[in-house]
Chain A
Amino acid sequence: MTANGWLQIGLFFVVLLAVTKPLGVFMARVFSGEKTFLDPVLRPIERLIYRSCGIDDKREMDWKEYTVAMLLFSVVSMLLLYLIERVQQWLPWNPQHFAAVEAHLAFNTAASFTTNTNWQNYGGESTMSYFTQMAGLAYHNFASAAVGIALAIAVIRGIARKESKTIGNFWVDVTRCMLWVLLPACLIIALIFVSQGMVQNLRPYDTAKFLNPQTVQTTGADGKTTTQTVTDQVIAQGPFASQEAIKIFGTNGGGPFNANSAHPFENPNPLTDFMQIVMMLALGSGLTYTLGRMTGSQRHGWAVWAAMAILCLAGVTVAYAMEAHGNPLLHGIDQHTSAMQPGGNMEGKEVRFGIAPTALFATTTTDASCGAVNGMHDSFTPLGGMIPLVNIMIGEVIFGGVGAGLYGIVVFIILSVFIAGLMVGRTPEYLGKKIEAYDVKMAMLVVLIFCLIVLGLTAVAIVSPFGTSSISNPGPHGLSQILYAYTSQAGNNGSAFAGLTGNTPWYNVSGAFDMLLGRFFMVIPVLAIAGNLARKKIVPESVGTFPVTTPLFTFLLISVILIVSALTFFPALSLGPILEHLLMHAGKVF
């Protein structure tokens, strides 16, 4: 680890802190229908959308209707994406003439992008037409992010309102999120990205001539060795800076290229890399301020922010230390960091970023449910790669995916005040609302459904030939690959231990259900909590109330998050990354 590495990590926290209040205030204004400086431009577009779709923006919904509208929109937009993938050969902007996407892969991808997961069992540059990328995949980056934020706002309203049957209008929340929060920022960011070297065109791929043609020997299926000379380099193009902006800002993470943000066209230099790291967490961080503002307890918002920041710092510290230390099994090379070289575990990492930004990226992409990667997690050291895995396992509540992080942390807050209530023997309260059996049951459902689908599907895969045949790294790392796949999909993250062969009927279909259950079966209990809280009276604070604005609360929240996830997942982690770490230091190779 170096001072320069820590300087970059430190600056990240400073910038994240600096954007929290402006974004939080802005979102609170947007979703409360207050005036903003963008109104003159966006109001007419907003009204046009309401009119053309028949949306009554004055009408509020109860939690059940809100849920139904969300589910219907998700199903319809998912079907459209599936359709686009299946007929892309007949649609415009397909200069490479890609064929229709296979049915099970198209299903997996449609589920993936609808749920804000962006798990990818395909390489974009060899599978998807420009039309599919823009109107199918990048559109869902907007839609799924807007749905996530809308749900978070609905939950905040549930906490803030008293004796109310309704929690807002789903269509209005999604529209305003798309138009005010996501679109203007993405327009500007996309153009900054282009100026730094991200591609933005609709041209066919270019063919360059290698300066030094390569002679390669390949062994065919018949076992014969053939020698061929490779003289050409086909350079993939595309309209991708615009996609990159929303991919990161909406914590989607599904890149147009297979290598994601490690690809020079998706992440050309250290500045774009730093921007991406901050943007991934910006809205999640801002929403903690929105929570404080809309519930009238700004100190509570900061107490939650502090818990998230502490967990984030802890994660990046471990990941950075492990990756900077390098791989003890590699001999005869210099892995020491210096001004002349990044050093450390450079397998799967880019020279322009080096160790600290890659460790930070891996941490933040899984703090959020983003899943973009600027280095390959599969090639991280065992404990360095465990940090992203653990971040997802604790529910991506460290700032979290846009919206999903906030409603995720509300679940843990409810459990925390419940446990605090048990300790002092009083009915727990949260910001004036009594937390009762129904709320706690729903919160526990969220926690239990997640571990059930992750561990259940992992268990099936590791005892089945169709599960284990996709493993590419033998030994404990193989278990980590499968565990990571199901954790990432259920958590709607989308990053991967990418050596696992995911494009098989089993992984496509089981993964799609993993993602759909991970999104919608979590959201329904969360909205039920929101609806139930909205109905309740406000009880005045008393001496027996456990305050949710203090460092003690922050500490308790962190403890509950860690204990719940550690108890659930520690056995699996000990057989995967922890065992691999011990064996690696004992010199064992698989």
Chain B
Amino acid sequence: MKKNLLISVLFTLVTTVLLGIIYPLVVTGIAQVVFPKQANGELIKVGDKLVGSHLIGQPFTAPGYFWSRPSAAGTAGYDPTGSSGSNLGPTNKALIDRVNASVQQLQPTNPGTPIPADLVTTSGSGLDPHISPASAEFQVPRVAKERGMSEQDVRALVAKHTLGRQFGFLGEARVNVLDLNLDLDALHPMR
């Protein structure tokens, strides 16, 4: 008992140094050398200004931008210091009301076209950088009109930022909203 207690203390300390400090530092060291961009969060800079990360979504409300999904992270949404889903249950009135409000806001911008489910639901992380291709297509007429572009041109830009399923079958096709909007601003600044 006494001997095992002493071993417990020493063993905890020794393995903490090995697995809790050396291991992550070794991985950090290799990662910073071999994959510096990925290891630091795939950050996007425009000039000197940090504008975000390829992996982390941002909220958009101006009609000239493609809008992201609603977000439950932080007060303005898409707060990476408080990643979170809504955690609203399927029969919770708060969920139904929130979706209805989104539908009422979105439907007039493209009457007659059904609204894809992902565009009115919050993601699990609250940071989802993507919308589905259907959700992007839904917004093409609005963005084209606001920016004075042809729908064709907007569609071409959407296609450029659309990722298919990985290896053709893993996950879902998706459009990176921040990348797309950055490109829109670069090519066709808002009037």
Contact = CB atoms under 8 A, between A and B. Distances in A.
Interface of A: 4, 7-8, 45, 49, 52-55, 65, 68-69, 72-73, 75-77, 80, 123, 125-126, 134-136, 138-139, 142-143, 171, 174-175, 178, 183, 186-187, 190-191, 194-203, 205-212, 214-216, 218, 228, 230, 233-237, 239, 241-243, 257-259, 262-265, 268-271, 273-274, 326-327, 329-335, 338-354, 357, 373-376, 378-382, 472-477, 480, 497-499, 580, 583-584, 588-590
Interface string B121-149: 11111111111111101000000000000
B156 interface: no
Interface string B37-48: 011111110000
Interface of B: 1, 3-16, 18-21, 23-28, 30-32, 34-35, 38-44, 49-56, 58-62, 65, 69, 73, 75-93, 95-96, 99-100, 103, 107, 114-135, 137, 165-167, 169-174, 178, 181-182, 185
Contacts of B19: 138-139, 142-143, 178, 183
Contacts of A80: 12-13, 16
In the complex, the 8 A-B pairs of residues with the closest C-beta atoms, listed nearest first: A270-B171, A262-B124, A499-B87, A139-B20, A135-B20, A473-B89, A354-B172, A376-B85
Given A72-B5, A270-B171, A332-B107, A379 B89 contact: yes
B68 to A, nearest CB: 10
Which of B32, B38, B118: most chain A Cβ within 10 A? B118
Nearest to B124: A262
B55 A265 contact: yes
Contacts of B132: 340-342, 351
B91 A580 contact: yes
Contact of A125 (B75, B80, B99): B80
A531 B172 CA distance: 50
A185 to B, nearest CB: 12
A142 to B, nearest CB: 4
Given A210-B59, A333-B116, A334-B114, A475 B91 contact: yes
Contact of B7 (A126, A171, A335): A171
B18 to A, nearest CB: 8
A332 B100 CA distance: 8
A206 B103 contact: no
Contacts of B133: 340-341
Contacts of A199: 39-41
B89 A499 contact: yes
Contacts of A186: 23
17 contacts: A4-B169, A45-B18, A52-B10, A76-B5, A183-B19, A206-B50, A237-B41, A270-B172, A273-B170, A333-B117, A342-B117, A343-B117, A346-B117, A347-B121, A349-B123, A353-B171, A498-B84
B99 A330 contact: yes
Given A214-B76, A233-B80, A269-B171, A183 B91 contact: no
Contact of B173 (A174, A340, A497, A499): A340
B137 A340 contact: yes
A352 B130 contact: yes
Which of A338, A348, A380: most chain B Cβ within 10 A? A348
A330 B102 CA distance: 11
